[in-house]
Structure 1
Amino acid sequence: METLVTEIAPDVYRLSTYVEDADLLFNQYLVDAEEPLLFHCGLRALFPLVSEALNRVVPLERLRWITFGHVEADECGSLNSWVTAAPRARVAHGRMGCLVSVNDMSDRPPMPLEDGQVLDLGGKRVRRIETPHVPHGWDAGLMYEETTGTLLCGDLFTAVGNAPPLTEREIVGPALAAEDVFGATCLTADTAPVMHRLAGLEPTTLGLMHGPAYTGACGAALRDLASAYAERFARSVERGTARPGP
């Protein structure tokens, strides 16, 4: 295996490892600024590969922020490895996730982030957007880099297989095909409205965790996936198996 580094927007880097046994891409994102930020820590087993890749862009000791979307092994399994390697970095996560999990998990006390809170990195600004249960996880949230219009969207649009680093090809179909396999998305009455709010940002780039970075019509893709999920939720209501919402 190898971890490939691609600049998907000015000073925003995708660190991507294809794991053949799982037939999945595992991506982390580095926002390079005066205070560099890592979004997603990755699996513990991938830490040597991913940290070496990050070190090719910025020295590990310069890393100042470690963040992730929600508590799951591929998002924060290697958290404490990063904490050890980057002595000046602060761990940051949503307030709920800190209370429920990260206060106990992290060897370095985390900074709880509020919905809409912005971290000024010096040349880049990342905003925490709370998305409970979207696509899954009580503590789920995303990061939006305001200066480049890059939405680091975690498990949204998850697709199986390897892929090029950047694409303008349609990503909704592959996401729905993966959903048929994994059933990983929490389909509730709030799922589509949350995604429509994300679409309202009109991002220029989507940083997927499991798939290529997308540079096509990002707002339209979010709305189309939201509509597809709304249809699936409606069918579950008809069957009597729906969740009303958080």
Structure 2
Amino acid sequence: MGVTNRESGTNVHEVSDGIYRINTPVSIPGSGFSFNQYLILDDEPLLFHTGPRKMFPLVREAVASILPVERLRYIGFSHVESDECGSLNEWLAVAPHAVPLCGRVAAMVSIEDLADRSPRAMADGELITLGTHAVRWFDAPHLPHAWECGFLTEETTRTLLCGDLFTQGGSKLPALTESDILGPSEAFRHKMDYFSHTRNADAMLERLAATQPTTLACMHGSAWRGDGGKLLRSLADSLSA
């Protein structure tokens, strides 16, 4: 794996067993940023996050470097936002057996209407087996934002597909790191203040921490390896402060 598009710098790296991070760096005045999608390669492959609609050709090219795109079975996302599901219908067009995968609230308020194919709506705590991998959905309203927000954990590899949690700025970060991401992500949060600051944040973060993830698959910046439960509890402490 490596760079799949030299012009954009889009690249692919395996960050956990059978889980691939697709990354596209972008230039923002005064800094840089990146967009990540995660592909779980299995009997019923799952793509988590679609990327923005205009980024679809780049992400499709990257996915095609791993498997035929028409094999995709699920197109999942944390909440309804351009970088989460902006190219959802483009993916449904090229993957005829794929369906959107989201929480019940997202299905009810948005995806049944926005998507060209009805979603597979997951209940809180529900598990879906993909083959050797299995993903469980956790409702997390307003963490960090959006009523329909939620996260997937991949139980075999103990990977948390954590969406906008631990967002890091910058466009030249390693695919996978064991270095501190809480400091950089909190600095980014304080500058942008994109959290809703829900009163239930502590309880929801503790629930995610209890799954004991060892890989955090962040949507922006590096994926992270280590004691994910400890890091999620540290995030809860920082939000409370």
Which TM-score tier does this pair reach, normalised by the shorter chain? over 0.9
Kindly report the root-mean-square deviation, in angstroms, between the aligned alpha carbons of the 2 structures. 0.9
Q: Which amino acid aligns with 2:183?
A: G
For 1:20, what is the secondary structure of its paired residue? strand
For 2:84, what is the secondary structure of its paired residue? helix
The partner residue of 1:34 within 18, 39, 43 is 43
Q: Which of structure 1's runs of 4+ aligned residues deviate more than 2 A?
A: none
Number of the residue aligned with 1:17: 24
Q: Which amino acid aligns with 1:191?
A: A
1:221 aligns with 2:228: no
Looking at structure 2, the residues matched to 91 and 112 of structure 1 have their Cα atoms a distance apart, in angstroms, of 8
- The answer to whether the 8 Å contact 2:143/2:198 transfers is no
For 2:121, what is the secondary structure of its paired residue? strand
Give, in angstroms, the shift of residue 52 of structure 1. 0.6
Matches within 5 A, 1:148-227: 148-162=157-171, 163-227=173-237
Q: Which amino acid aligns with 1:196?
A: E
Looking at structure 1, the residues matched to 189 and 236 of structure 2 have their Cα atoms a distance apart, in angstroms, of 13
- The answer to whether the 8 Å contact 1:40/1:75 transfers is yes
Number of the residue aligned with 2:95: 86
Number of the residue aligned with 1:8: 15
- The answer to whether the 8 Å contact 1:40/1:76 transfers is yes
The partner residue of 2:147 within 104, 122, 138 is 138
Looking at structure 1, the residues matched to 166 and 195 of structure 2 have their Cα atoms a distance apart, in angstroms, of 10
| 1:55-111 Cα deviation digits (max 9, x unpaired) | 111110111111100000110000001010111111121111111011111011112
Looking at structure 1, the residues matched to 50 and 140 of structure 2 have their Cα atoms a distance apart, in angstroms, of 19
Q: Which amino acid aligns with 1:182?
A: M
- The answer to whether the 8 Å contact 1:135/1:155 transfers is yes
- The answer to whether the 8 Å contact 2:50/2:84 transfers is yes
Number of the residue aligned with 2:3: none
Determine what percentage of the aligned residue pairs are the same residue.
46
Give, in angstroms, the shift of residue 119 of structure 1. 1.1
- The answer to whether the 8 Å contact 2:139/2:150 transfers is yes
1:124 aligns with 2:133: yes
Number of the residue aligned with 1:45: 54
Number of matched pairs: 231
Q: Which amino acid aligns with 1:187?
A: H
The partner residue of 2:121 within 112, 116, 130 is 112
Looking at structure 2, the residues matched to 188 and 46 of structure 1 have their Cα atoms a distance apart, in angstroms, of 31
Number of the residue aligned with 1:241: none
- The answer to whether the 8 Å contact 2:23/2:35 transfers is yes
Q: Which amino acid aligns with 1:65?
A: Y
Looking at structure 2, the residues matched to 76 and 90 of structure 1 have their Cα atoms a distance apart, in angstroms, of 12
Q: Which amino acid aligns with 2:48?
A: F
Number of the residue aligned with 1:240: none
Looking at structure 1, the residues matched to 72 and 182 of structure 2 have their Cα atoms a distance apart, in angstroms, of 33
Give, in angstroms, the shift of residue 211 of structure 1. 1.2
Number of the residue aligned with 2:67: 58
Structure 2 residue runs without a partner (length 5+): 1-7
- Give the TM-score, by structure 2 length: 0.94
Looking at structure 1, the residues matched to 210 and 195 of structure 2 have their Cα atoms a distance apart, in angstroms, of 21
- The answer to whether the 8 Å contact 2:176/2:224 transfers is yes
Structure 1 residue runs without a partner (length 5+): 232-246
Looking at structure 2, the residues matched to 93 and 188 of structure 1 have their Cα atoms a distance apart, in angstroms, of 21
